[in-house]
Amino acid sequence: MQHDRIPEIALDWHREGRGAALATVIETWGSAPRQPGSQLAISGGGEIMGSVSGGCVEGAVVVEALEALADGKPRLLTFGVTDETAFSVGLACGGTIRVLVEPIGKAMPVAMLEDVVEARAARKPLAYGVAIESWERRLLGPDDLPDRFRSDRSGMEDSGEFIALFNPPLRLLIVGAVHIAQALVPMAKLAGYDPVLIDPRDAFASAERFPDTLIRHDWPDEGLRTEGLDMRTAVVTLTHDTKLDDPAIIEALTSDAFYIGCLGSTRTHAKRLDRLRDAGITDAQIDRIHAPVGLNIGAKSPAEIAVSVLAQITQVLRQA
């Protein structure tokens, strides 16, 4: 998903000698189309990837970015309209946004962008801070801004410093290569997740049934340990087989995974809870399980169930 690789694309363009600038939404008011931290990469040839407004002001940002590449100076742009002038200006929602434009290698140091890209590849959370008045820049970690990293929220600090978060990409580890997983995997990709399928049964977990998907034929708890479970990871168990699901659930409950969902009816889940308690799982850990998995929207088909699962994961991520 190229729209999720904006720092990487900007760095590639710079290394290829094409020139690159990063435009980042730093503040919004009203019905702004994109949230702070949203980015647009612009090449020296005017190519773009990403978005800062959903198409409303990208043209003006590209012009400013090309000028920034020419003179080497960052730009702080403000786009705001009233409802009466929204159509002619471009922000049809009537909101206001501020956009920071930084030419790579001139305003934003290449070494800092390389650190950001390397951290993303290693699933290491990192933030990029820019003091808007002095243009001083620094890199920060979760210990510096724990609340921002936890809520995944870029934005302005009271000190006048803008913080752009680069949390690791979201991941969805799916235990069970069943029919629901066949719908859930592509939906997760569209939502910006890196899905991983874990199932030791070769007949189920095949490339024919799950094309272009990372598949692990490990025992589920081993597969989860191999992948690693952090606060940017969701786990869903779908096998209906206790010898596969239960070890995975126990492994997930001892991790920092932000979501744990388990397929099965209310009666099935009640029996599952008895087994988990017998295995030493505490009530506090059990409270983390979402079961029956997914929002209660009356879903029947595999695709509808997948929609309900992804919706509940989103709800937990954004409203927790």
Per-residue model confidence as pLDDT tens for the chain (320 residues): 455 789 999 999 999 999 999 999 999 887 677 889 999 999 999 999 998 887 778 899 999 999 999 999 999 999 875 444 444 445 555 578 899 999 999 999 999 999 999 999 888 999 999 999 999 999 999 999 988 887 788 999 999 999 999 988 889 999 999 999 999 999 999 998 999 999 999 999 999 999 999 999 999 999 999 999 988 899 999 998 999 999 999 999 999 999 999 999 999 999 999 999 999 999 999 999 999 999 999 999 999 999 999 999 999 988 86
Would you state the pLDDT for residue 87?
45
* Domain identity same for 211 and 111: no
What's the rounded Cα separation, in Å, for the pair 183 and 266?
23
Would you state the pLDDT for residue 80?
78
**Strand ranges for the chain from DSSP E:** 20-29, 39-43, 48-50, 75-80, 96-103, 126-131, 137-140, 155-156, 161-166, 171-175, 194-198, 214-216, 233-237, 259-262, 289-290
Would you state the pLDDT for residue 93?
57
- Number of domains the chain is built from: 2
Query: What global pTM score does this model have?
Result: 0.74
Q: Among residues 166, 192, 215, which one ends one of the domains?
A: 166
What is the residue whose two structure tokens read 């199932």? 199
| DSSP code at position 104 | B
* Domain identity same for 124 and 201: no
* Domain identity same for 48 and 26: yes
CATH number at residue 293: 3.40.50.720
* Domain identity same for 142 and 211: no
Would you state the pLDDT for residue 318?
84
Q: Which domain holds residue 218?
A: 171-319
What's the rounded Cα separation, in Å, for the pair 181 and 240?
13
Would you state the pLDDT for residue 83?
42
* Domain identity same for 290 and 248: yes
Six-digit token string for 54: 């959903």
Would you state the pLDDT for residue 3?
59
The single-letter code of the amino acid at 233 is T
Q: Among residues 166, 183, 199, which one ends one of the domains?
A: 166
* Domain identity same for 161 and 177: no
* Domain identity same for 134 and 181: no
Would you state the pLDDT for residue 263?
95
* Domain identity same for 220 and 148: no
Q: Among residues 166, 200, 233, which one ends one of the domains?
A: 166
Would you state the pLDDT for residue 85?
43
* Domain identity same for 58 and 125: yes
Phi, psi of 112 (to 5 degrees): -65, -45
* Domain identity same for 107 and 198: no
* Domain identity same for 16 and 156: yes
* Domain identity same for 108 and 207: no
